[in-house]
Structures are given as structure tokens and as C-alpha cells.
Structure 1
């Protein structure tokens, strides 16, 4: 299964790279004032879904652009064809193809591919997480927030959330080394898994933004919770880090700590 997923993500990434050279404002549409979508998003998702349906015609599929295909199966695919469309449209490299495979709603395999960065992150439940098939991933060992570089995003602004993440950013930022903002939650989670970031939090994401990335973090030794320390993510927000940083981050977010 993971080999099929890797090839699928790689081929989808090649479409992104090829199409980016000729992308124009005419190829752009809006789901909201700040929420961009391009013709390439739809093209990539159609490609991925067609490949899955050819191989597994009875499987359910959730796609960002096409919604839910429900056959009543125990097997489900969750696809974000371009996570970070704004970065993609503006010629920045921080976008990814995210594909997760679930059995009875438990993610069993996940792939996050950042084609412009040449980074293919993969995970299989119980078998670890890997970068480009060669480097096994492990979350950062940092134990102090002042040594942490965290990532976040602002999907909440598109959703009109109050209080929004700017409120939480002002609480967190004075206590950490720095913040990063690339615009792809899937990459942020992959970077937490790889120890390139110490942690990540965000509000108002969807299942297709995080399904593959969550498995990467878990298989790299990290934990994922909602912003109350529970497991209702992404509905109640999401926090991903090693256990110590997650506890401290939840504390700064004025949420209950995890049991240490």
C-alpha cells in the first residue's frame, strides 16, 4: 500500500511542478476572501481519485475539492491535492500533496510530498516515519519552550473565528525561540515529525489537512491532541509536539496539561 501511495504522491507532485510554470490569474478561483483554489488543485485531486478508484473501486474517499465518496466501506482515503495553495500560486515552495489511508477511521499509512522541496515523508502505523525512504524521523528532544521553534497558521481568519489564533500567538511567541509560517499544515506536521520544528498548533483545520501528518508525528514519537489536551482534533484545534513541549504549549494556550 505505501509503495502505491508514494508513487501516487510523486506523480501528483509532478503535475504540480509542471502546471506551476504556466499558472496565471485566470486559473484562480476563491472559496472565500482569502481562500484560494486553482485549476491545478482540481486536476491533481481528479488524478489521485482516478488512480485510487481504478485499484480500489469500493473504497470511500474524502477529497478537499470533491467532497465525500461513500460506499460504506471500512477503507477510506483522505486527500488534500495541494495543501498550501496560496504558497503554490505565489511561486513559493511550501505546498504539499497529502494522502492518508484509513481502516475503520484509523489512519494506517500516510504520505506528505513537498515536490518543490524534493521531500517525501511517509509513515506506516507501527513501522515508523521516514523522509525520502532513507532517513527515519524522530521528533525534537527539546524540553524547554525557549529552545523551541513552533509553527502555526491562520485558517481561523478565513473561518471568522473569535477569539482567533492571533490571540494565542501573542501568548505563545514571547516564550519560544521563534515562529515559522509556511502555509501548509501537512508540511508543518511533517517537520514536527522530522524534528525540524519542535511543535505546531492551529485552529479551524479540516481532516484532509492533517490526516497524513498526524500519523507522521505519532510514528516519529510525538503526540497529537486537540487544544484541550483531548483527541477531538481538528474540530477543537490541533497541537503536535513531543510530550513535554505539548504540555507546555497547552499551558500557554490556557488549556489543561497532559498527564506528565
Structure 2
């Protein structure tokens, strides 16, 4: 891809930051909250932010297509693709819990080029570019150095199809609660991945995520020195795969073993 990646990243950051102003403005009184599944919510903010981002991002890379949570017609990646989650953590947002963010990534086929995760309600803005490192609020990020599960703070999440996956979720949770320092479930996979990149979490695992949940966070973790794979079975993580494990790298094999590899 013969483009100025730093320039693209700067313009993408501006677009995501502008979208974050809408998230911040709507937070006190979310509008148009409705269900798109049994426990899966969408708000007017999701729709408005997605539409705004598509307009702004189309001006940055006119030849890219879109894979966006609220309007995705397909999930495959071919050529340049903007991957958008307008409000990751919509349930948090709708309930007034500020662990929510906007996630945008640009991929060239299966390869990530850049990613931005804006969390205006937490005053955090994360970004990464391929070969340019991972950053938050101007500070370069690096994963933790924790090497043993007993010292690890681990994040996870639960899919909306929780009834269908309850046995697997509880089996993994039982192991993790017994073998790690602690488990956290804040409710935004995009931010969980950012927090692994920043060294606040040492590992993250989850089932049933979509490409838009993780696209930006994957690049942040690898640029910060971490490792991302699948588990059960282990192997390279492909966007949209059923299971994802992201760690600081030093913990990875131990986490794979705990998760049944």
C-alpha cells in the first residue's frame, strides 16, 4: 500500500476524536435505546456516530469499503476496509457506565494498517500504526512483564448468546478465578485489548466476538509487544474467529494451557 501511513493515522485520529464528542454529549441522556437481540442494545448514538465516521473516513481513503457494526452486510475482508464499532460497550453507555469507546481500524485484506480507539468518557485515546508503535494520550505503550498466571490480572467478556455458551464460559471462568490474581469483566472488548497493550491487564480472552470488536485492539497489542492467537485450537487469530486470547506474550503459553490447550 503506497500511502503515507502517518498522515492517514493523523486524519483518522481526528475523525475518531470528532465522533467522540457525540458520545460525550449523549452520555448523560442516551436516546433511541432499543433491542437488536435478547440483551443486545443499540442507541441513536451508535447510528449517528457510525454515519458520521463513514462520511469522514470515506474522504480519507475513498477507495476503501466499510465493515461497520450497525450496517454490515457481510463480514469478509478484501482490499482496503474500514472496520468500525461506533460505540463498543453500548450496554454500558445506555446504563451510564463510562467504559465505552469508538473503535476504528483500516485493514488491507487481512493485514491491519492502523487502529484508533477513543474513550472520551475515560479521557483516553489509543492509537497504533503498523511499525509506528502503540500510543495513548501521547505516551508510548508497552505490555506488562508479568510471567506467571498467579500474578496476572485477566480480562474477559461474555457473548450476547450467553445462554447457548454458558457451560463453556463458566468452565473457563472457574479455571481463571482459581489460577490468576483476578478476573475483570468491564464490558468493552476494544478497551480490554487496549488495556492489555497498556499493561493494565496482562491477558484477555473471550468467545463470540466480531471483527469490529477487536480490529483496532489487535494492532495496538502487537505494536505494544504482545501476542494474539486463537485458543481451542491454538493458531493465528483471524478476524471473526470464535475464540481470541491476547496476552503480554510472556504469559501466552501458560494461558493456553489453562484454557485447555
User: Hey, what's the Cα distance between the residues in 2 that align with 1:162 and 1:97?
Assistant: 28
TM alignment of 1:1-260, pairs within 5 A:
1-24=8-31, 27-68=32-73, 74-132=79-137, 134-155=138-159, 157-158=161-162, 160-161=164-165, 163-227=167-231, 228-233=233-238, 234-255=240-261
Cα deviation, 1:45-99, whole Å, max 9, x if unaligned, reads 00000112233332111000011489x9621100000000011011111001000
Paired position in structure 2 for 1:258: none
Question: Do the aligned partners of 1:75 and 1:104 also contact (CA within 8 Å) in 2?
Answer: yes
Unaligned 5+ segments in structure 1 are 256-260
**Taking structure 2 as the reference length, what is the TM-score of the superposition?**
0.91
More displaced 10-residue stretch of structure 1: 86-95 or 49-58:
49-58
Q: CA deviation at 1:135?
A: 1.0
Taking structure 1 as reference, are residues 73 and 181 closer, same or farther at Cα in structure 2, changes over 3 Å only?
Answer: closer
Q: CA deviation at 1:39?
A: 1.1
Secondary structure of the residue that 1:216 maps to in structure 2? Answer: helix
Taking structure 1 as reference, are residues 47 and 16 closer, same or farther at Cα in structure 2, changes over 3 Å only?
Answer: same
User: Hey, what's the Cα distance between the residues in 1 that align with 2:251 and 2:149?
Assistant: 7
Q: CA deviation at 1:165?
A: 1.5
User: Hey, what's the Cα distance between the residues in 1 that align with 2:41 and 2:245?
Assistant: 25
Unaligned 5+ segments in structure 2 are 1-7
Q: CA deviation at 1:162?
A: 5.6
More displaced 10-residue stretch of structure 1: 210-219 or 151-160:
151-160
Q: CA deviation at 1:21?
A: 2.3
Q: CA deviation at 1:140?
A: 0.6
Question: Do the aligned partners of 1:159 and 1:204 also contact (CA within 8 Å) in 2?
Answer: no
User: Hey, what's the Cα distance between the residues in 2 that align with 1:254 and 1:89?
Assistant: 35
Question: Do the aligned partners of 2:227 and 2:249 also contact (CA within 8 Å) in 1?
Answer: yes
User: Hey, what's the Cα distance between the residues in 2 that align with 1:185 and 1:44?
Assistant: 18
Secondary structure of the residue that 2:251 maps to in structure 1? Answer: helix
Question: Do the aligned partners of 2:46 and 2:86 also contact (CA within 8 Å) in 1?
Answer: yes
User: Hey, what's the Cα distance between the residues in 1 that align with 2:227 and 2:134?
Assistant: 14
User: Hey, what's the Cα distance between the residues in 2 that align with 1:157 and 1:141?
Assistant: 34
User: Hey, what's the Cα distance between the residues in 1 that align with 2:237 and 2:248?
Assistant: 18
**Number of residue-to-residue matches in the alignment:** 251
Secondary structure of the residue that 1:161 maps to in structure 2? Answer: helix
User: Hey, what's the Cα distance between the residues in 1 that align with 2:242 and 2:37?
Assistant: 22
The CA RMSD over aligned residues, in Å, is 1.8
